[in-house]
Structure 1
Amino acid sequence: MITVLCIDDETDIRKLLVEELEDAGLNTLEAANGAEGLETILNAWPDIVICDVSMPVMNGHELLAEIQINHPEFSNTPFIMLTAMADKENTLAGLRGGADDYLTKPIDLDLLMAKISGCIMRIENNRKTGQGL
């Protein structure tokens, strides 16, 4: 079964994401900031990460850079960034840093679930063919 890690310092948003993902039949993990998220990634190996950009301790860009540089075994894990900052520069920074997608808040749950479905399809295809993601 697919496991999705939701990283957001806003408890209400994180709980909404978890509820939506669990209603779709997915396993979920939660973290309140990038540092907790990194620990969860290293210990639980989630299949997909949904991560807020602006958080205390370690923000989403810092977390993604940490994964890309120091934990290459996770560098192909689908990483969807969420942010209230809808400007082009933040979007480009996230995508250039290795994010697979970038969604703005308030979150369009239908759009998020469509993006998650695409990630799941790629993960399952890679598992069938024996390829890593």
Structure 2
Amino acid sequence: MAEPARARILVVDDASLVRLYYRQALEAAGFVVEEALNGVEALEKLLQAPADLVIVDVNMPLMDGITFLRALRRQPLPLAALPALVTSTEAGPADIEAARVAGANLYLVKPLEPAALVLYARLLCGVPG
């Protein structure tokens, strides 16, 4: 019997330590993890190989997370409907609202506990825990 396909997550963050932290937690939970340094690279990667979830930082060079979300939501389906989890150190109501309006499905404030990251990734990907 074939092994079921594992959910693929694209982590978009300019901080290498954050990407590594997310990668370790998510891969330990059985996800396949890809990485991008900014929104431009993330869009290029998603156009080449769709993902099941994108986890995106807000503050990044070239294309920030909010601009990335707006661009993502303008893509044709099914890419435009890709679940997006936004992570940021910014915790103000205006920051959360800006992400929601841009198309975020969920907004979490850094630092994230690995268990919470995995739980929300499973929920957004529809993967049983």
**The two structures share one fold, judged by TM-score above 0.5:** yes
Could you tell me how far apart the structure 2 residues matched to 1:12 and 1:76 are?
Answer: 28
* Root-mean-square deviation (Å): 1.4
- Of 100, 118, 122, the match for 1:113: 118
What is the identity, as a one-letter code, of the residue corresponding to 1:53? V
1:59-96 CA distance string (max 9 Å, x none): 00011101112444312111000101011101011112
What amino acid does structure 2 have at the position aligned with 1:59?
D
1:92 corresponds in structure 2 to 97
Between Structure 1 and Structure 2, the one with more helix by share is 1
Residue 28 of structure 1 is aligned with which of 30, 33, 44?
Answer: 33
Q: 1:6 aligns with which of 4, 11, 17?
A: 11
- Unmatched segments (≥5 aa) in structure 1: 125-133
- TM-score of the superposition, structure 1-length normalised? 0.87
For 1:1-133, list aligned pairs within 5 A: 1-121=6-126
Local SS of the residue matching 1:75:
helix
Q: CA deviation at 1:98?
A: 1.1
Paired AA for residue 119 in structure 2: A
> Structure 1 residues 42, 20: CA separation in 2 closer, same or farther (over 3 Å shift)?
same
Higher mean Cα deviation, 95-104 or 63-72? 63-72
Q: CA deviation at 1:30?
A: 0.3
Q: TM-score, normalised by structure 2?
A: 0.89
Ranked by relative contact order (alpha carbons within 8 Å, sequence separation 6 or more), the top structure is: 2
Are the counterparts in 1 of residues 91 and 109 from structure 2 also a CA contact under 8 Å? yes
- List gaps (5 residues or longer) in structure 2: 1-5
Runs of 4 or more consecutive aligned structure 1 residues displaced over 2 Å after TM superposition: 70-73
- SS at the partner of 2:119? helix
